[in-house]
């Protein structure tokens, strides 16, 4: 048995959508895999955008890394993927169906998105006797493996046409009034500036950072900057992505273009085979396990603790694992439920989810 992993952290440095904690998430998970789960350094592929000595997390490089991870896998191997970065969602095309009503996507550093359908296709290629665990600390991560069974969550089979809920306002207001209250108590001599009531210590020590939500408007604006194209509309995102990234675009984007060209073929246009990907369409048993940082209509937090930035969900995972001994095993279900409790205690409204086949619900996290 070989344990292999791909870890992806994207901070988008120097951009208007810059995050602070994603690369830290990757470094912490890397240490966890080696120290706790016995992964070998050479079997962990790291993609980050803050150090040029690492493979950059572009859409092409992420797809290649995931494809290589699965292509080399054999029965009995343990596969693991961790993603920390922005998430977005693209409205479905007319006539298209999805449990959540959108294409949930991760956002690589070059804005070449990878949608839930692509992750489904990758999971369907996992060999028999092997499983892949995917942690996504990003916005809209619920349902990121298209069609995976929802065991813990509120993402599927609902009307999701509203904008996502941004959860930080309540926490910001609380921290503001807490700060004012503490200053008043110090001024009145009731407590010293170093005293903090235990009751609110957990919530107050977190400095609210950014959401890992990338609105469609922001995505389009950055895509304009990177492509030099001024006229990009919501309904024209997929053709633009194919125009810019070509064969490096998402297989779903290429399939969409193929359908467009097929329709135009009636006018005499020569159609070339563009999309060569395949899917089991549910014929292969589901071997993917998704632990999402939030629901499809929610945002995930980039927060600060002790001067360092981390993803709220990634940090919760590390805290939950540290509650037990290094040899203590925790199930996927236990981890997600405990992370939910912990985030709620800390003042975050995001609700992690678990999406997998029934047999993986009570299986140990990772291995």
Catalytic positions: 86, 139
Element of type H or E holding 135: strand 131-137
For residues 262 and 20, which has the higher predicted lDDT (pLDDT)?
A: 20
**CATH match of 3-91+99-155+207-215+283-360 with 3.30.1370.60:** no
* pLDDT tens per residue, range 310-335: 999 999 999 999 997 777 899 999 99
For residue 302, count other CB atoms closer than 10 A to its CB.
Answer: 29
Determine which of 49-58, 145-154, 177-186, 357-366 has the lowest per-residue pLDDT on average: 177-186
Nearest Cα to 9, choosing from 367, 310, 320, 249? 310
For residues 252 and 15, which has the higher predicted lDDT (pLDDT)?
A: 15
* pLDDT tens per residue, range 58-93: 999 999 999 999 999 999 999 999 999 999 887 766
Highest mean pLDDT among 94-98, 203-207, 255-259, 272-276: 255-259
Does residue 164 register a pLDDT over 70? no
Q: What is the mean pLDDT of residues 231-259?
A: 77
Buried b (16+ CB within 10 A) or exposed e, 72-90: ebeeebbbbbbbbbbbbbb
* pLDDT tens per residue, range 23-44: 999 999 999 999 999 999 999 9
Q: Could you tell me the pLDDT band of residue 104, with boundaries at 50, 70 and 90? A: confident
Q: Which residue has the tokens 């693991």?
A: 80
d(CA 111, CA 83): 15
Joined together, the tokens standing for residue 2 give 């070989």
Element of type H or E holding 316: helix 312-323
CA 261 to chain centre: 32
């Amino acid at each position: 048995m070989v344990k292999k992993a791909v870890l992806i952290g994207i901070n988008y440095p120097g951009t208007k959508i810059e995050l602070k904690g994603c690369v830290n998430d990757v470094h912490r998970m890397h240490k966890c895999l080696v120290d706790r789960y016995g992964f070998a350094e050479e079997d962990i592929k790291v993609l980050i955008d803050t150090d040029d000595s690492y493979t950059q997390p572009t859409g092409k490089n992420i797809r290649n890394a995931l494809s290589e991870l699965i292509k080399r896998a054999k029965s009995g191997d343990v596969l693991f993927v961790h993603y920390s970065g922005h998430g977005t969602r693209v409205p479905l095309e007319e006539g298209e169906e999805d449990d959540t009503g959108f294409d949930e996507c991760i956002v690589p550093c070059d804005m070449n998105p990878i949608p839930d359908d692509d992750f489904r296709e990758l999971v369907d290629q996992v060999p028999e006797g092997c499983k892949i665990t995917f942690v996504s600390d990003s916005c809209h991560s619920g349902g990121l493996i298209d069609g995976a069974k929802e065991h813990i969550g509120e993402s599927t089979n609902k009307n999701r046409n509203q904008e996502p809920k941004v959860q930080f306002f309540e926490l910001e207001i609380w921290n503001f009034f807490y700060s004012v209250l503490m200053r008043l108590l110090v001024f009145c001599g009731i407590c010293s500036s170093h005293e903090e009531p235990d009751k609110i210590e957990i919530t107050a020590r977190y400095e609210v950072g950014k959401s890992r939500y990338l609105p469609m408007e922001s995505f389009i604006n950055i895509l304009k900057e990177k492509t030099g194209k001024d006229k990009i509309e919501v309904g024209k995102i997929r053709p633009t992505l194919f125009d810019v990234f070509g064969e490096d675009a998402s297989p779903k984007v290429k399939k969409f273009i193929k359908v467009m060209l097929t329709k135009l073929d009636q006018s005499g246009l020569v159609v070339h085979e563009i999309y060569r990907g395949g899917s089991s369409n549910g014929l292969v048993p589901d071997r993917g396990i998704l632990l999402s940082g939030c629901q499809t209509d929610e945002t995930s937090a980039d927060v600060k603790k002790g001067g360092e930035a981390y993803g709220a969900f990634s940090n919760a995972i590390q805290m939950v694992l540290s509650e037990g001994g290094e040899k203590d095993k925790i199930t996927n279900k236990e981890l997600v439920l405990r992370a939910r409790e912990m985030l709620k205690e800390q003042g975050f409204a995001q609700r992690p989810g678990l999406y997998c086949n029934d047999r993986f619900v009570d299986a140990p996290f990772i291995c």
